[in-house]
Amino acid sequence: MMAPTQPAAPYPGLRPFEPHESAIFFGRGEQIDRMLTALEDHHFLAVVGASGSGKSSLVQAGLLPALAEGFLSEAGEDWRFVMMRPGGRPFDRLAHAVRQSLGNDEPDPDMEAFTSAELRAGPKGFLEVIADAQLPESTNLLLLVDQFEEVFRFRRDKAAGTIYR
């Protein structure tokens, strides 16, 4: 006797919604519209709120799909999203996310180390990394730093090379 198949759960549980789950993410259209307006006006957006309030879901299943569908009319539909969490090694994590997001799916520790060094080289390191990627001129890039506060939680003991929380 075959067990009946159960329908897919309508919600992801305790984890945040992901971009591919935008069809089941609803009820926050007004917030998404305000986010799109802020991005259009300022090219920067900080989403802040209490822990567990759905910030990550709002961005990943609300904002990102809206951008990809062309709801930021002036920018078009050609978007690349670099998504990362800083953790204890923010430059290394950013290097990995950039390389992965710009079409370099296969991990290459040497290239990631080079990208990380380029990011650390100066205040325009990120811009240089993006220029090196030679994206088409019509491409929009959104850097999403989830859990940005992690940048402030970690510090490095330079002498010992140890990371402390």
The predicted structure's pLDDT at residue 11: 64
The predicted structure's pLDDT at residue 120: 94
The predicted structure's pLDDT at residue 9: 61
How much is the pTM?
Answer: 0.80
The predicted structure's pLDDT at residue 151: 84
Name the band, by pLDDT with cuts 50, 70 and 90, for residue 122. very high
The predicted structure's pLDDT at residue 109: 87
For residues 19-30, give the mean pLDDT.
93
For residues 41-56, give the mean pLDDT.
91
* Percent of the chain's residues with pLDDT above 70: 84
Question: How do residues 58-114 score in pLDDT, each as one tens digit?
Answer: 999 999 999 999 999 888 889 999 999 999 899 999 999 999 998 666 778 899 999
The predicted structure's pLDDT at residue 73: 82
Q: What is the 3-state secondary structure (H, E, C) of the chain?
A: CCCCCCCCCCCCCCCCCCHHHHHHCCCCHHHHHHHHHHHHHHCCCCCCCCCCCCHHHHHHHHHHHHHHCCCCCCCCCCEEEEEECCCCCHHHHHHHHHHHHCCCCCCCHHHHHHHHHHHHCCCCHHHHHHHHCCCCCCCEEEEEECCCCHHHHCEEECCCCEEEC
Question: How do residues 26-41 score in pLDDT, each as one tens digit?
Answer: 999 999 999 999 999 9
pLDDT of 7 > 70? The answer is: no
